[in-house]
Structure 1
Amino acid sequence: MKVYFIGAGPGDPELLTIKGKTLIEKCKIIIYAGSLVNERILEYAPKDASIYNSAKMTLEEVVAVYKDAQKQNMDVARIHTGDPSIYGAIKEQMDALAELEIEYQMVPGVSSFLAAAAAVEAEFTLPSVSQTVIVTRLEGRTPVPEKEKLTALAKHQASMCIFLSVHMIEDVVTQLSTQYPEATPIAVVEKASWPEERVVTGTLETIAAAVKKAGITKTAMIMVGDFLDSEYERSKLYDPQFSHCYREKE
């Protein structure tokens, strides 16, 4: 048997990869992150599949399902949102599976930070603006290493995506404002790619009030940086005066 950690996408069922869909269709045991995964994804599961919502489970309870599947020699589809390797809490599961000598595989998906960029029609890496994307979160019940505090990361003024922090939007703004100018553009995308997707835009000076007015408190991506609204240089990739291994200079 084998456990498949599947990135089910940011919300839209059509953003599930073909590989992920194929695995879900064949696995008779499904464990899905019910607090975030669109339940329409479960329509691809076999009609007689045993389905577990991990939002209501502890790690030990999840591992118990893996053990039972091992006894039955049945594959498991462990469905996470987007890419399981980002805030997916999968390392502890993989370690447990290794101890049990259960084979596993990671199947990446479309992350919510990519869906959020699509929602605002933005490119994170604009020439002369930013060539770096920082993916992070504000400290909450899960601590953040001191060197990764938002105030430290903001020094780079790179394109930044902040997960799991919209309920602390004032703190986010306070920390970012120590390094980014107050006029820096910022966007908050709630439930990117879902039918109920909402986008709130502004600057560091205005965004907290706008988010509070919209009533957005969870399941939202915060994106900050000049990539959202600034002048930029033309890319060398398609510049007729720039040659590379696929195209000679005109």
Structure 2
Amino acid sequence: MQRKRSRFTFLAMTMAALIAFAAVSAWASAPAKGELFLVGLGAGDPDNMTLRAHKTIAKASVIFAMKGTAEKYAEYLKGKDVHDAGHGMFGGPTRGGKNPAELEAQREKTRRIIREAVAAGKTVAVLDNGDPMIFGPQTCYLREFADLNPTVVPGLSSFNAANAALRTGVTNGKASHSVVLTAARGGRGGGGGDSLAKLAESQSTMVFFTMGLDLPEVVRQLKQSYPGDTPIAIVSNAGTAGKEAVLKSTLDEIVAKLGNAPLPFEHLIYVGDFLK
């Protein structure tokens, strides 16, 4: 009887060991789960990139970036599979200046590449300038691939870089200690309660992330709530050595001071008494 019990115990232990070995082997042979990242590169020069962003790019094998971004950071992308990220590719039917058919074809290609790469255990990084969660076109990737649980790597925003260029604390105004960040163009706001005229009523410091902003119209609306001698500053190419510049004036004088001179593509506008 004792011999039978020993034999049964031995067989049971052997079966348990075989099952455990099979489970471990199956786990080891299964492909590792891939990851999708949205990486903020920082504003201005590449050396404004964070260590975390650098490490994420280093481990990524598949990269999505706009053409200019890919060229600017080319030394960090060597040997990687680089694709065009477009400009807000998943943000609307006609983004990027392409016809709907071309855009949808690019979207489908992008979906396939990202999903196949993640399924194969690869790391995919979508690159955006500054901090994409403050101002940037690529947050649409977070919505499109929400089921992949993407990770966001924050970056140094042009807001941070421009603050440094101004060398003045934005919450240290004489009357206002609040800051409003807006991407409103020409004072249109978002079509709801955030019109420029409404935002200006508090006379808080305002910071404009600008793309095609109608400065004379913005100044006109601001002067309905702010005194004409309220300081205004335009920071161009924030964070870029040798190109960064600050122009200061007042609401009364800024339009005449600029005249017909075009503003650089990269610029932020600050309005508030903290500049005094």
Contact residue 183 and residue 189 of structure 2 kept, 8 A: no
Aligned-partner residue type, residue 52 of structure 1: H
Name the structure 1 match of 2:81: 50
> CA–CA distance in 2 between the matches of 1:127 and 1:91?
32
Check the 8 A contact 1:162/1:222 in 2, yes or no. Answer: yes
1:83 aligns with 2:114: no
Preserved CA contact (<8 Å) 1:11 1:192: yes
Structure 1, 213-222 or 60-69: larger mean CA deviation? 60-69
Task: Report the residue type matching 1:80 in the other structure.
Answer: D
Q: Is the 8 A contact 2:89 2:140 kept in 1?
A: no
Q: Secondary structure of 2:73's partner? A: helix
Report the Cα distance in structure 2 between the residues aligned to 1:64 and 1:201, rounded to whole angstroms.
48
SS of 1:84's partner is: coil
Equivalent in the alignment of 2:63:
30
**Counterparts of 2:72 and 2:53 in 1: how far apart (Å)?**
14
What do you get for the CA RMSD once the two structures are aligned? 2.4
1:1-250 to structure 2, matched below 5 A, reads 1-34=34-67, 37=69, 39-45=71-77, 47-55=78-86, 58-59=89-90, 60=107, 62-98=110-146, 101-126=147-172, 128-139=174-185, 144-165=190-211, 167-195=213-241, 196-216=243-263, 218-229=265-276
Aligned letter for 2:271?
V
Larger of the two Rg values belongs to structure: 2
Quick one: distance in 2 between partners of 1:137 and 1:78? 22
Change (3 A) 1:125 1:155: same
Any idea what the Cα deviations from partners look like across 1:88-121, whole Å, max 9, x if unmatched? 34553222212xx323101111111111111121
Q: Where do 5+ consecutive residues of structure 2 fail to align? A: 1-33, 91-106
- Structure 1 gap ranges (5+): 230-250
> CA 1:77 to 1:20, structure 2 compared with 1: closer, same or farther past 3 Å?
same
TM-score by length of 1: 0.80
Task: Could you list the structure 1 runs, at least 4 aligned residues long, displaced by more than 4 angstroms after superposition.
Answer: none
Taking structure 2 as the reference length, the TM-score comes to 0.73
Amino acid at match of 2:82: I
Q: How many residues get paired?
A: 224
* Identical-pair percentage: 30
Greater share of residues in helix: 2
The answer as to whether partners of 1:183 and 1:203 remain within 8 angstroms in 2 is yes
Cα offset, 1:220, TM superposition: 0.9
Query: 1:147: how far off?
Result: 1.0
